[in-house]
């Protein structure tokens, strides 16, 4: 255990990097999810196709392949990105594609009468979408978005393979420098578990808040 | 200008397709392991004793919220210390199997719970034994709706196989890496790997959609 105590700063640095990447990539994924999810529902066909291609490509290719592609191939096209930027881009774009289906599904699951009522009240398409449909769809999106955030957190472990010094990277470094195996990997697994618990708690809180705002009781 | 050499790409394609057989083998074997492991876990989660239910639930939550990569490192580096040395492929397949069995257990549970409680009561009223009711009444209703969900998990596992490269399994991704680092030409092998993954996942998803359509009928 003294090993863990001596290496506490190494773990802390790793945890901070993992948290930073998780937050940045989640924000990008959230933005992409809305862009592509709404794009799929657009009345404008080219926009729908564009969103569909984005979703299918980024969901169809393994995340690690996307990471390696951005890390190793983009420089050949003259685009050299910092490893952390590459990590955030790949994680955000990939999880955004998964999130897009959540956004689309939630908006489509709002009862049809709601858009008819909006139409009867002379709301424009945009107004109906932003003022009627999306506010009711958000409580439905939150639980799957919570799961997606956990998946994203777990996926951040892969960025250690493109030289980012995240929590997983530190585990491997400690394993190589101390020749100990159980301690570093156990502590790192526990670290991820703790972050996951915090994320789950935050989403529960958000669910309660949005439900309360819509006048639905906490379930 | 796109620095993509089609002749070079064509020359390495057979190697990559051969390596994708390892990827497919890893997917199939670990999926089978996850199906079996999920069954054990769901039985544990539905056990009549809380002393069994809680630990199983806790382990499932823990495995589900920690990265597969670190779990694989754990198996790969820690097991030999206990005198268990498995080949990288076996370690990888075991790790993926364990990781996904936690997801698949939830799928089984949802399937079982989706069968109406009245079905159990009717089976009891008709004097079925508990095991016979399970096999003849409940499972035939619980299994068809979860087949597409399970198939989607299989696709997810397929897309997680490149992680096995990190514990030295020479699958598709690792083969591309080796080819690329030989001549420091990354564009063709990496792009081809991406395209192979895309093609296979699109075909697999189309099959799942077809399956879903048939089962819904």
What CATH number is given to the structural domain containing A113? Answer: 1.10.3720.10
**pLDDT tens digit string along A106-145?**
999 999 999 999 999 999 989 999 999 999 999 999 999 9
**Whole-number pLDDT of residue B192:** 96
CA pair distance A162, A64, nearest whole angstrom:
10
CA pair distance A53, A67, nearest whole angstrom:
19
Backbone phi and psi for residue B3, each to the nearest 5 degrees, phi listed first: -80, 65
A50 occurs within a structural domain:
yes
A169 occurs within a structural domain:
yes
Q: Which residues contact A77 (CB under 8 A, 6 or more apart)?
A: B2, B3
Nearest residue of B to residue A182 by CA position? Answer: B78
A71 occurs within a structural domain:
yes
Candidates B80, B66, B67; CA nearest to B166 is B67
Residues from chain B contacting residue A184 (CB–CB below 8 Å): none
* A contact test, residue of B24, B73, B176 with most A CBs within 10 A: B73
Of B71, B160, B186, the CB nearest to A72: B186
Does position A199 have pLDDT exceeding 90, yes or no?
yes
What confidence category does residue B1 fall into, taking pLDDT thresholds of 50, 70 and 90?
Answer: low
**pLDDT tens digit string along B81-100?**
898 889 999 999 999 999 99
Compute the nearest-CA separation of A117 from chain B (Å).
Answer: 32
A158 occurs within a structural domain:
yes
Report yes or no: B176 and B190 within 8 Å, Cβ to Cβ.
Answer: yes
Task: Give CA A194 to chain center in angstroms.
Answer: 17
Task: Give CA B180 to chain center in angstroms.
Answer: 28
Does position B58 have pLDDT exceeding 70, yes or no?
yes
A144 occurs within a structural domain:
yes
The answer to whether B159 contacts chain A (CB < 8 Å) is yes
A62 occurs within a structural domain:
yes
Q: Look up the domain containing A140 and give its range.
A: 2-213
**Whole-number pLDDT of residue A218:** 47
ipTM of the complex model: 0.90
**pLDDT tens digit string along A5-37?**
888 888 999 999 999 999 999 999 999 999 999
Asked if B163 and A192 come within 8 Å (Cβ–Cβ), the reply is no
Nearest residue of A to residue B23 by CA position? Answer: A62
Long-range contact set of residues B56-62: C-beta below 8 Å, sequence gap at least 24: B59/B102, B60/B102, B60/B105, B60/B106, B62/A189, B62/A193
CA pair distance A147, B2, nearest whole angstrom:
38
The answer to whether A157 contacts chain B (CB < 8 Å) is yes
A219 occurs within a structural domain:
no
Domains and CATH numbers, chain B: 23-171 (1.10.3720.10)
A218 occurs within a structural domain:
no
Compute the nearest-CA separation of B152 from chain A (Å).
Answer: 12
The answer to whether A59 contacts chain B (CB < 8 Å) is yes
Cα–Cα–Cα angle for B79, B83, B84, rounded to 5 degrees: 50
Residues from chain B contacting residue A197 (CB–CB below 8 Å): 65
Residues from chain B contacting residue A161 (CB–CB below 8 Å): 69, 166
Task: Tally the domains of chain A.
Answer: 1
């Amino acid at each position: 255990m003294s090993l863990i105590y001596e290496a506490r700063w190494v773990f802390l640095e790793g945890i901070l990097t993992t948290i930073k990447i998780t937050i940045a990539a989640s924000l990008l994924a959230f933005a992409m999810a809305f862009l592509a999810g709404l794009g799929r529902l657009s009345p404008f066909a080219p926009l729908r196709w564009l969103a569909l291609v984005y979703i299918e490509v980024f969901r169809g290719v393994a995340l690690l392949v996307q990471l390696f592609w951005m890390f190793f191939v983009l420089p050949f096209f003259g685009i050299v990105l910092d490893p952390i930027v590459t990590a955030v881009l790949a994680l955000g774009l990939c999880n955004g594609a998964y999130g897009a289906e959540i956004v689309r599904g939630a908006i489509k699951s709002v009862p049809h009468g709601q858009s008819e009522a909006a139409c009867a009240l002379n709301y424009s398409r945009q107004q109906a979408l932003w003022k009627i449909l999306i506010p009711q769809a958000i409580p439905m999106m939150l639980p799957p978005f919570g799961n997606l955030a956990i998946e994203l957190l777990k996926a951040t472990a892969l960025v250690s393979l493109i030289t980012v010094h995240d929590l997983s990277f530190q585990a491997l470094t400690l394993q190589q420098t101390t020749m100990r195996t159980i301690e570093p990997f156990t502590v790192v697994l526990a670290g991820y578990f703790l972050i996951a618990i915090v994320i789950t708690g935050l989403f529960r809180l958000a669910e309660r808040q949005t439900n309360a705002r819509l006048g639905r009781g906490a379930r | 200008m796109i620095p993509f050499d089609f002749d070079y790409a064509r020359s390495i394609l057979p190697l990559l397709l051969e390596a994708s057989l390892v990827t497919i083998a890893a997917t199939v074997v670990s999926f089978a392991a996850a199906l079996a492991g999920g069954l054990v876990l769901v039985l544990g989660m539905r056990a009549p004793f809380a002393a069994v239910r809680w630990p199983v639930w806790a382990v499932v939550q823990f495995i589900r919220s920690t990265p597969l990569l670190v779990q694989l490192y754990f198996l790969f580096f820690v097991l030999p210390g206990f005198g268990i040395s498995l080949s990288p492929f076996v370690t990888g397949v075991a790790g993926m199997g364990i990781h996904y069995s936690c997801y698949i257990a939830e799928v089984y549970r949802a399937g079982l719970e989706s069968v109406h409680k009245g079905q159990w009561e009717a089976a009891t009223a008709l004097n079925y034994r508990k095991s016979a009711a399970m096999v003849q009444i409940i499972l035939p209703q619980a299994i068809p709706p979860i087949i597409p969900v399970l198939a989607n998990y299989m696709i997810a596992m397929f897309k997680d196989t490149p992680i096995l490269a990190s514990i030295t399994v020479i699958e598709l991704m690792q083969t591309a890496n080796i080819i690329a680092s030989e001549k420091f030409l990354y564009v063709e092998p990496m792009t081809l790997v991406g395209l192979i993954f895309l093609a296979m996942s699109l075909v697999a998803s189309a099959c799942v959609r077809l399956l879903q359509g048939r089962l819904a009928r």
